[in-house]
Structure 1
Amino acid sequence: MFLGTVPEERVAALVAAAAPAVAATPAVTLRLAGGGRFGSARRPQVAWAGLDGDVAPLVALAGRLTDVARGLGLPVEDRPFRPHLTLGRWRPGQPADGTLTDRLAGYRGPSWPVTEVRLWESHLGSRPTYDVVATWSVGQA
């Protein structure tokens, strides 16, 4: 789920409203499985690894968080949530091998328990950085 830019004066409300949505999430175990890209092989945009395991509760959480964001009047993407881990991005206009992620097709990593959900603030640019805005525990209900 991608929110885009959240105005500074609305972050506290988002953090407060998201807490019960995350608290309703049961204990979840996931693993990386397979991979792919967003964009075509000729013009790839994002390389990702897929997620396997307790994906249904993760999808349900994304739905609850989408409802929270919309309830606060924040813009949310309309496309369905696709559980994945972003591995990297190809720079527009630069040579790119869009078949690179095909090598992950048969990969199945070790499982791990998901213990928390984090809200991140992205600072994009030539050297992107990311700051944790809030953290909530899962599986505590």
Structure 2
Amino acid sequence: MRLFLAVLPPESAVQELDAAVRPLRMLPQGTGLRWTGLESWHLTLAFLGHVDAEQLAALEPRLAHIAHEHAAHRLRLAGAGRFGDRALWVGVSGDTLALRKLAEAAADAARRSGIGVDERPFRAHLTLARSGTARADLKALAGALADFQGEEWTAGTLCLMRSYLGAGPAHYEVVGEWPLTPES
């Protein structure tokens, strides 16, 4: 299975972001992009790649332990940016230190389970669109979302996600979830 660890924003935050993004899809800069679907919007904590059943069996109790040791925290989708001319994203504000610590602990749990983890530095974001093979000028689109400030919400669950790749857009499925310790 191809897996990753994530936090999923609530439906209300997704709908709010969609209302801000929808007009951008119609702009000349947006028409050639591969826009991600609302049902796939998430904050990736760690990419795990291909995981076999034995590794998964070792990982799941570690994730339960991590969730118990990390408190739920308040976040909001806010601002925007781009990874060069390859991807457009919306950022995250709020208790991003707690989110970073959760991401680091989740990646460490995967490593201790014998799973290779993508070693790129963690950067809290939600990918909105990719340019595909053609390079795109995403600067104007990122600028249009720069002042976006979504509602505040509680990140309260660590999710283990399976990705299905192939023809068409990627599809994601929650295969495990663990509640974080409630906010105090």
TM-score using structure 2 length? 0.67
Equivalent AA in structure 2 for residue 34 of structure 1: G
**Please, which of 127, 130, 136 is the counterpart of residue 96 of structure 1?**
136
SS at match of 2:90: strand
Instruction: Give the match for residue 131 of structure 1.
Output: 173
SS at match of 2:75: strand
Tell me the distance in 2 between the aligned counterparts of 1:29 and 1:117: 14
In angstroms, what is the RMSD of aligned CA positions? 1.8
Equivalent AA in structure 1 for residue 117 of structure 2: V
Instruction: Give the match for residue 26 of structure 1.
Output: 71
> Counting helix residues as a fraction of each chain, which structure ranks higher?
2
Tell me the distance in 2 between the aligned counterparts of 1:12 and 1:21: 15
SS at match of 2:47: coil
Preserved CA contact (<8 Å) 1:28 1:139: no
Tell me the distance in 1 between the aligned counterparts of 2:55 and 2:100: 24
Cα distance, 1:58 vs. partner?
0.8
SS at match of 1:65: helix
Structure 1 segments unaligned to the other structure (5+ residues): none
**Please, which of 101, 120, 127 is the counterpart of residue 79 of structure 1?**
120
**Please, which of 28, 32, 53 is the counterpart of residue 8 of structure 1?**
53
Equivalenced residues, count: 136
Structure 2 segments unaligned to the other structure (5+ residues): 1-45
TM-score using structure 1 length? 0.85
SS at match of 2:48: coil
1:69 aligns with 2:100: no
Tell me the distance in 1 between the aligned counterparts of 2:167 and 2:143: 27
Equivalent AA in structure 1 for residue 53 of structure 2: E
